[in-house]
Amino acid sequence: MAAASKKLDRVRIVLARSPFCHALSVVKSAAVATRPRSGGPKPHGTDPLIAERVRTFREAKGLTQAQLAGERYTKGFISLLETGRVGLSVGTAQYLASRLGISLAELLAAPVAGTEREQELRLVRAEAAFAAGQLDQALQIGKPLDRAGESHRARWLRLRGRIAVQTDHATEAVRLLDAALRLFRSQGTRELAARTLLDLAMAYGRVEAHGEAVHYALQCENAIYAGDVVDRTLELRVLSLLASLFVTIGDLTSADLRIERAKQVAQDVADPRAVGNLYASLAIAREREGDLEAALNFARKSLAAYEQLGIPANVGSLWNTVGWIYVQRKQYGRAEDALKKAAAIALETKDARLGGYVLQSQAELALARGDLGEAVRLAEESINTADSSKRGRATSLLVRARAIAAARRPIPEIDRAFREAVNGLKPFGQHLVAHAYEAHFEALVQRGRHAEASQAAANAFAALRSALG
């Protein structure tokens, strides 16, 4: 009995420290406020700030009240909730947070007053704009928060860091997210600290710093299992990222372990977007392993999830992934069809970033088919696309260099093309740089330039040593 009592006490301590308990207390307060009191004034509903958050995030996501309600609630209920005239249960809060694409803690932050309240509302609007993909608008809305008090500064730094990741400014993102993490830890905000660990892992992953990315992703995984955050969707994202990272660094045993756990967690996650993201990550992981059949299977599952959700950007990106997998499988007709669909979506949605990646995949297809002039043209079009990502331009430089080499252009032209590719790829990690040097080595060997090829090989090995730490 004594041992059982001690174990129960430990469970209580873990639960007491969990950020979920704060959310639960906020919901209970809102629910208590709606109970009739005999002989007293009429009850109040949800805290107005929470009601404002629901409305702001809903509008930013482009959802009507009926769409947010889904099959579980009614448009009238959402209307009452957004005007603070009805209470909020734990189940309702979790359901709405999932449909809005935010965490329960973000929906149910502690109420504030005065200037703090104004800053909170501004931060909520900026976070809502970010959730809707309106990155420039999010920065514009949140700009005054550069002078915010400490209670909001950490969240604003994290938001800026997440925007920097999305806009290919990963080095700046690391600086901002590290500062946010320190503040969250000093404030004892365990849940947001855990979420920021995942953000940092993703930022380091963008610059191919895989050791650091794994380090922070594992810290986030440990925080989840320690009870710092209760969120199966977050757990699914962490497992997906770790699987992809372990594949990249060659630890296939650890990758397979995370993949199997991710599949189990996916069964408990009601968020189809998170499941779609899982399958997209698994497709990339399997493609890097060389298991193209599994990669194609996961890509199709992800594509089906995104099509069901009606998210054009994700659908277009997955068609591009499917096309690239078909290129590697030498199924060029199917690759062409998939890439045409991706290109059509990029054009329809005016998504130049996606368009740049599709042009790069089309260049790879032309190169695989031996249409070298077309490969160079498409790669250069990708490079010159105004809103194409920096990473996309850099990898297109490599496709262009490989096509120029395959066309047996003069050696100085080939050397110059690979030099441009290497310089473009340097900000995105030594693994990609090594890949460029390896391609240069192969091109030089084919031309009988063994001395220069030897130097390219030495450069490739040096880059790999640097990448592996």
Pair 172, 164: CB distance under 8 Å: yes
CA distance 275 to 370: 37
| SS (HEC) of 356-411 | HHHHHHHHHHHHHHCCHHHHHHHHHHHHHCCCCCHHHHHHHHHHHHHHHHHCCCCH
CA 57 from chain centre, in angstroms, equals 19
CA distance 136 to 126: 10
CA distance 90 to 26: 9
* Percent of the chain topping pLDDT 90: 42
The token pair at 77 is: 């209920």
Q: Is residue 279 a part of any domain in this protein?
A: yes
Length in residues, the chain? 469
Residue that has been written with the tokens 């996501």 in this structure: 61
Residue 195 is predicted with a pLDDT of 94
Q: Is residue 259 a part of any domain in this protein?
A: yes
Pair 68, 59: CB distance under 8 Å: no
Q: Is residue 89 a part of any domain in this protein?
A: no
82 burial type by CB count under 10 A (0-12 exposed, 13-18 middle, 19+ buried): buried
CB-based contacts of 158, cutoff 8 Å, min separation 6: 176, 177, 180, 184, 192, 195, 196, 199
Q: Is residue 158 a part of any domain in this protein?
A: no
pTM of this structure: 0.61
CA distance 197 to 212: 11
Indicate left, alpha or beta for 260 from its phi (over 0: left) and psi (-120 to 50: alpha). Answer: alpha
Q: Is residue 265 a part of any domain in this protein?
A: yes
Written as one letter, the residue type at 198 is: L
Residue 336 is predicted with a pLDDT of 97
Pair 391, 353: CB distance under 8 Å: no
CA distances from 327 to 237, 360, 363, 458 (A): 28, 12, 11, 30
Residue 398 is predicted with a pLDDT of 96
Least Cα distance to 29 among 57, 55, 50, 52 occurs for: 50
Q: Is residue 418 a part of any domain in this protein?
A: no
Q: Is residue 333 a part of any domain in this protein?
A: no
Q: Is residue 296 a part of any domain in this protein?
A: yes
User: Which regions of the chain are under pLDDT 50?
Assistant: 1-44, 111-114
Residue 213 is predicted with a pLDDT of 93
Residue 32 is predicted with a pLDDT of 39
Q: Between vectors from CA 267 to CA 249 and to CA 321, what angle results, nearest 5°? A: 45
Pair 237, 229: CB distance under 8 Å: no
Range of the domain at 289: 252-307
Count of structural domains within the chain: 1
Residue 12 is predicted with a pLDDT of 43
Residue 115 is predicted with a pLDDT of 65
Written as one letter, the residue type at 285 is: A
Residue 96 is predicted with a pLDDT of 87
The token pair at 51 is: 């009601």
